[in-house]
């Protein structure tokens, strides 16, 4: 058993998307980017879906320059890389074209962003977790959004989507670091969310500081379950879905300083978790079995790992592990094997990377990696090439204090767009639309 994941006794009770979470106890004091996100975050039905994964968002206390206000204002968009013609309406595979960023939410620092079709109209919406609760923005189809439901809740650090009501509708789970609880918000069918009673995160005395959250069918019963990490007490928790809701069935101690969390497939088939150790250089890999998780591997990815994802980047039978190293300014990609993970490739992306999302950014049929760079006020992209290698990082946008990130087609043109949370004083979420 690996030293920084020590198992403790199981809680005696019955109990993906990827995470979009906040690093509450950030020794660097920098903004961070959910789940699931996340994911944004798409629900992780094992084997894991490689699109729309988000990692660690920002610390809610970060103070930075003010984001632009809602209503069409924008920050400069920049694109570097291959010599492609942008703005001519032709989507050239292998090229990156984004327009200027447009701020669609500016009421609070945005700790988590998830993209999903909440009201089942075929248009992608946004769920935004922040210090005042949860805000829903409904997409209108052209890349714009209208204000939807606002839920006043304890400050939201983590956010992920999944089928949490057993009715095939997308629901949300939120973590509240300040009061050691999580909230499941059930979709009523018309896009309205009904928050259930908050669930205390058990297994350790407060403050647990629940932070990252991942959604997947970990126990193989066909229903989505919840995995949660607590930043303050270095804990991990499993909530299993039951006919009456969710019950916490397992808890463990992570040691270290847990940061990013992702749920998905480990090796050939086993469901599991990847948890980055913010105070170290590694990501702990946990596999599910016997009602809980046990450490199966530890992957060295670089100093200060934050956002993490499990995704099949190369179209094989295994998932790869992708993680940002905040102190090194790099992204590490560990190739998947039947037993777990093998060789690690490291790519320089820029100062203070925070969150990542995996999607086909350049419309060539291969999965790419987009990363928020808090130290450069920018978003960078690693494009996958024909041979499976990744090209040097390219800057695609300038965003004030970027943190959480999500991807989806917001304007219906069939191309990946980005939504980026900001840790600026007034916070916000900016949308980057593809502009072929």
Do 263 and 218 meet the contact criterion of CB atoms below 8 Å apart? yes
Residues 6+ away with beta carbon under 8 Å from 393: 331, 347, 348, 349, 350, 371, 380, 381, 382
pLDDT tens profile 97-114: 899 999 999 988 888 999
Task: Give the tokens for residue 126.
Answer: 């946004």
User: How many of the other CB atoms lie within 10 Å of CB of 89?
Assistant: 9
Domain membership flag for residue 38: yes
pLDDT score, position 268: 79
pLDDT tens profile 365-376: 999 999 999 999
- Place 140 in a pLDDT band, splitting at 50, 70 and 90: very high
Domain membership flag for residue 278: yes
pLDDT tens profile 16-71: 333 333 333 333 333 333 333 333 333 333 333 333 333 332 222 222 222 222 23
Domain membership flag for residue 34: yes
Q: Which of these ranges, 4-18, 176-190, 237-251, has the smallest mean pLDDT?
A: 4-18
Per-position DSSP letters for 248-277, written without gaps between them: EEEEEE--S-EEEEEEEEETTTEEEEEEEE
Checking DSSP bridges between strand 110-116 and strand 125-130, what pairing results, if any?
antiparallel
pLDDT tens profile 209-226: 778 999 999 999 999 999
HEC string for 68-85:
CCCCCCEECCCCCCCCCC
Length of the chain: 436
User: How many of the other CB atoms lie within 10 Å of CB of 223?
Assistant: 18
Strands (E) across 17-72 are located at none
What mean pLDDT value characterizes the chain? Answer: 81
- Which residues form the domain of 39? 14-432
Whether 145 shows a pLDDT value over 80: the answer reads yes
Distance CA 49, CA 358 (A): 10
Alpha carbons within 13 angstroms on the beta-carbon side of residue 107 total 14
Whether 74 shows a pLDDT value over 90: the answer reads no
Checking DSSP bridges between strand 320-325 and strand 101-105, what pairing results, if any?
unpaired
Domain membership flag for residue 4: no
Do 327 and 303 meet the contact criterion of CB atoms below 8 Å apart? yes
**Number of independent structural domains in the chain:** 1
Do 200 and 209 meet the contact criterion of CB atoms below 8 Å apart? no
- Place 88 in a pLDDT band, splitting at 50, 70 and 90: low
pLDDT score, position 269: 76
Do 23 and 372 meet the contact criterion of CB atoms below 8 Å apart? no
Distance CA 53, CA 428 (A): 20
CATH of the domain at 83: 2.130.10.10
Domain membership flag for residue 23: yes
Domain membership flag for residue 372: yes
Domain membership flag for residue 6: no
Domain membership flag for residue 5: no
CA angle 427, 432, 436 (to 5 degrees): 170
Q: What is the mean pLDDT of residues 167-171?
A: 96
């Amino acid at each position: 058993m690996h030293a920084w994941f020590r198992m403790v006794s199981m809680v005696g009770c019955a109990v993906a998307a990827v995470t979009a979470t906040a690093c509450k106890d950030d020794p660097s004091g920098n903004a961070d980017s959910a789940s699931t996100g996340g994911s944004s975050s798409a629900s992780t039905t094992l084997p894991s879906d490689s699109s729309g994964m988000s990692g660690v968002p920002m610390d809610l206390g970060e103070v930075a320059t003010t984001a632009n206000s809602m209503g069409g204002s924008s920050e400069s968009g920049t694109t570097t890389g291959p010599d492609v013609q942008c703005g001519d309406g032709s989507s050239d595979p292998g090229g990156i074209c984004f327009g200027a960023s447009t701020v669609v939410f500016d009421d609070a620092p945005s700790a988590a962003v998830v993209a999903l079709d909440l009201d089942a109209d075929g248009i992608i919406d946004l769920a935004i977790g922040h210090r005042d609760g949860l805000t829903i923005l409904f997409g209108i189809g052209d890349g714009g959004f209208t204000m939807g439901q606002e839920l006043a809740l304890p400050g939201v650090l983590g956010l992920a989507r999944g089928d949490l009501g057993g009715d095939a509708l997308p629901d949300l789970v939120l973590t509240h670091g300040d009061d050691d609880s999580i909230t499941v918000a059930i979709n009523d069918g018309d896009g309205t969310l009904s928050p259930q009673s908050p669930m205390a995160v058990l297994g350790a005395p407060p403050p647990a500081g629940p932070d990252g959250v991942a959604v997947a069918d970990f126990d193989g019963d066909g229903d989505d379950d919840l995995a949660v990490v607590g930043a303050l007490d270095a804990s991990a928790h499993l909530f299993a879905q039951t006919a009456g809701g969710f019950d916490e069935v397992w808890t463990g101690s992570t040691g270290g300083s847990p940061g990013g969390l992702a749920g998905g497939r480990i090796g050939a088939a086993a469901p599991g978790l990847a948890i980055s150790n913010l105070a170290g250089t590694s990501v702990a890999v946990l596999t599910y079995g016997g009602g809980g998780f046990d450490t199966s591997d530890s992957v060295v990815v670089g100093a200060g790992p934050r956002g993490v994802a499990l995704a099949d980047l190369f179209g094989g039978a295994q998932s790869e592990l992708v993680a940002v190293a905040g102190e090194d300014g790099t992204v590490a990609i560990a190739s998947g094997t039947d037993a777990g993970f093998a060789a690690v490739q490291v790519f320089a992306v820029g100062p203070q990377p925070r969150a990542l999302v995996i999607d086909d950014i350049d419309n060539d049929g291969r999965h790419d990696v987009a990363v928020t760079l808090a130290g450069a006020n920018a978003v960078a992209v690693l494009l996958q090439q024909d041979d499976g290698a990744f090209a040097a990082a390219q800057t695609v946008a300038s965003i004030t204090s970027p943190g959480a990130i999500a991807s989806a087609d917001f304007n219906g043109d069939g191309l990946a767009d980005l939504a980026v949370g900001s840790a600026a004083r007034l916070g916000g979420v900016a949308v980057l639309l593809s502009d072929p």
